[in-house]
Structure 1
Amino acid sequence: MVEQSVPLAVLASAVALAVLVRSAQTVVSAVTRIAIHYDVPDVVVGLTVVAVGTSLPETAAHVIASLGILGGTLDYEVASATVLGGNMGSSTTQQLLLFGMFLVGYGRYRPRPRFLKTTYVPMLAAFVLVLAVAWDGTLSRLDGGLLVLVYLGYTYWAVNNRERVGVPVERESRRIARDSALVVGGLVGVVASAYVVIAAVEVVVEALRLGGSIVGVVTIGLAAALPELSTVFEGLRRRSPDLAVGTLVGSNIVNPLLALGLGGAISGYAVPPVVVYWDLPVKLVAGVGLLVWLRYGTGGDFDRREGFALIVAYFAFLGGRLLLFPGQ
């Protein structure tokens, strides 16, 4: 009977993932229009609405899974592995695959020194912090609260330093009530679809005896990166690297600090070994390696060669994960 429910669970998960992504995009667009109407500075919109909004799928999945763990409706280890895999999968997809695609499509890109100091280096610091608190195989509520506080502190500092970030092109809201209703409806869609995804993944994991982490990587991880993918395409169309790269790096700060931190603060998580010994080290080595290569291996810019290398690195990441940590 359980095996017979797998196709239905997969179908439900696919539909829910589509709703999840679309709902998140609706929320970001509507809130951006409202913010423009009230003359909210671009730096604030970029660091709050865009950064958090594009990570809504991951954040909602964490919150829903943690509430399910807390209420006893979801298995602690399976739910933990699923959302952690989704978080790592999404952020690594953005860091390697999507950034690589951007470089291949854009050509030569020279990161601003200020951007590297105020955004890229904090992203690497976020990876180190998550690795430190998860090293013992658990993420406690205290650890989760610490991650959220660090994120809030970083956002406050970044806004005050007026770091320039790209903001999607949206017209000023002319109908505040309608856009407010879209925000509420979009958030309901995000929460409801995240619940369906988590429940469906648990059915698949139980029936097929798969690792919840790898299922999270290939479901939540890939689907949750779609908002950032659309931003990359928009950045290429507008020839606006700040929009594309700022969103990708910003999401790699939001995901490990805010999304993971909120979930951890609610219920705590059991951290699969693959996250500690593969996912986070790969992200950190790739991030530091790219910075070192920029400093010593290039003339201070990236081109399509680095883009292709990042795309290859992404598939190497997936392959290594499957070969070295089967069943996780």
Structure 2
Amino acid sequence: MSVSGALLTQVSVGAVALYTLVTAASRAIDRLLALAEYYDIDEVLVGMTVLALGTSLPELSAHLVASLGILSGVLDYQVASAVVIGGNTGSSTVQQFLLVGVLLIACGSLPLTRTFVRRSYLPMLGALLATLLVAWDGSISRLDGSVLLALYLIYVLVSVSNREPTGTIRERPSERPRRDALVATGLLVLVLLAASLVLSVVGTVVDMLALGGSTVGVVTIGVAAALPELTTVMDAVRRRAPNVALGTLVGSNIVNPLVGIGLGGVVSTYYVPPVVVLWDLPFKLGVGGVLLGWVRFRRTGRLTRTEGGYLLGLYFVFISGRLLLFPGQ
């Protein structure tokens, strides 16, 4: 088989695996929400676990599979690390810029209340800063990973203690809980298998084209893994409940770095490409801080379509800067 034919085959297999990964994760979330409703689990706890972790399931599964592959020697340490960390930052960037931008343009404006800033927005910036600090030396050690996971656990405990029910729309209660539990388990296994295949294909493509692993992760896993959040945004626009979508998007930007990178660091440790600490995280952190200051002091606490347009443009600035300033990473 020619090189071009082999490459086409790998890309096709990878596309199917990515679709399976995202679709199975979405279906698993639906089943788990139905089970939570059946067992009458507290709404805030559901939001902080099933919804927050569930919408990040593609990224989290990729991290777990990559770390196990690194430990077993099946996956290359630097390539696998770069791919999943690139996918992690890529997914959260799509959410922070593209999806929030689309949400604002579709809805017109959203209040950035003091409560939301204190309980969600500032923790998001804190999660990005903590990730930048532990990754600054070019690696994520097991101690670094433990710190990130501990920060997420503290965030969950404080949130569950202080937050009141939000009135988010839940699934109908499960009518056959045992069946749904079994199906959810099977779907989660399928997610892990699909993630394993995706990482294998991406590693092969990186070798064939001599591309940077983190860049491939950004444009493959990063984009595909944000699809559950895109569904949340579309549903929120249809139901005219944009605050729920904004909370989910910000929450995913807390889960992705703290749990995804933290979990991988604890299991196998990671190599961190320079582009992540010199461009990805500083760019996201800087935009997040400037946007907060702009909205609080110049926009009287409201996000508008103007900010939505800026965020859409900034996503393409992020991608262009990454490709131009850090080629091959």
- What's the Cα RMSD here? 1.2
**What is the letter of the counterpart of residue 320 of structure 1?**
G
The aligned counterpart of 1:206 is 207
The aligned counterpart of 2:236 is 235
- Distance change (3 Å), C-alpha of 1:169 and 1:2: farther
Inter-partner Cα distance in structure 2 for 1:165 and 1:96: 24
| Runs of 5+ consecutive residues of structure 1 not aligned to the other structure | none
Inter-partner Cα distance in structure 2 for 1:8 and 1:204: 10
The aligned counterpart of 2:91 is 90
Identity of aligned residues (%): 53
The aligned counterpart of 1:302 is 303
TM-score of the superposition, structure 1-length normalised? 0.98
Inter-partner Cα distance in structure 2 for 1:85 and 1:166: 34
Q: C-alpha displacement at 1:5, in angstroms?
A: 2.5
Q: C-alpha displacement at 1:153, in angstroms?
A: 1.3
- Distance change (3 Å), C-alpha of 1:241 and 1:172: same
Inter-partner Cα distance in structure 1 for 2:307 and 2:62: 32
Inter-partner Cα distance in structure 2 for 1:233 and 1:168: 14
Inter-partner Cα distance in structure 2 for 1:34 and 1:156: 22
| 8 Å Cα contact 1:166-1:243 kept in structure 2 | no
Runs of 4+ in 1 over 4 A off after TM superposition: 163-166
Instruction: Give the secondary-structure state (helix, strand or coil) at the position aligned to 2:303.
Output: coil
Range moving further from structure 2, 202-211 or 112-121 = 112-121
Inter-partner Cα distance in structure 2 for 1:267 and 1:86: 17
Equivalences for residues 186-225 of structure 1 within 5 A: 186-225=187-226
Inter-partner Cα distance in structure 1 for 2:2 and 2:271: 25
Q: C-alpha displacement at 1:130, in angstroms?
A: 0.4
- Distance change (3 Å), C-alpha of 1:279 and 1:164: farther
The aligned counterpart of 2:138 is 137
Range moving further from structure 2, 167-176 or 111-120 = 167-176
| Runs of 5+ consecutive residues of structure 2 not aligned to the other structure | none
Q: C-alpha displacement at 1:189, in angstroms?
A: 1.2
Equivalences for residues 40-189 of structure 1 within 5 A: 40-165=41-166, 167-189=168-190
Give CA-to-partner distance per residue, 1:42-71, whole Å, 9 cap, x none: 111111110000000000000100111110
Q: C-alpha displacement at 1:111, in angstroms?
A: 2.1
Inter-partner Cα distance in structure 1 for 2:135 and 2:167: 32
**What is the letter of the counterpart of residue 43 of structure 1?**
V
Instruction: Give the secondary-structure state (helix, strand or coil) at the position aligned to 2:74.
Output: coil
Inter-partner Cα distance in structure 2 for 1:54 and 1:263: 18
Inter-partner Cα distance in structure 1 for 2:47 and 2:222: 22
Inter-partner Cα distance in structure 1 for 2:59 and 2:164: 24
Q: C-alpha displacement at 1:88, in angstroms?
A: 0.4
| 8 Å Cα contact 1:50-1:167 kept in structure 2 | no
Give CA-to-partner distance per residue, 1:254-298, whole Å, 9 cap, x none: 000001110111111110000000000011001101100111121
**What is the letter of the counterpart of residue 12 of structure 2?**
L
Q: C-alpha displacement at 1:163, in angstroms?
A: 4.9
Provide the aligned length of Structure 1 versus Structure 2: 328
The aligned counterpart of 1:318 is 319
The aligned counterpart of 1:267 is 268
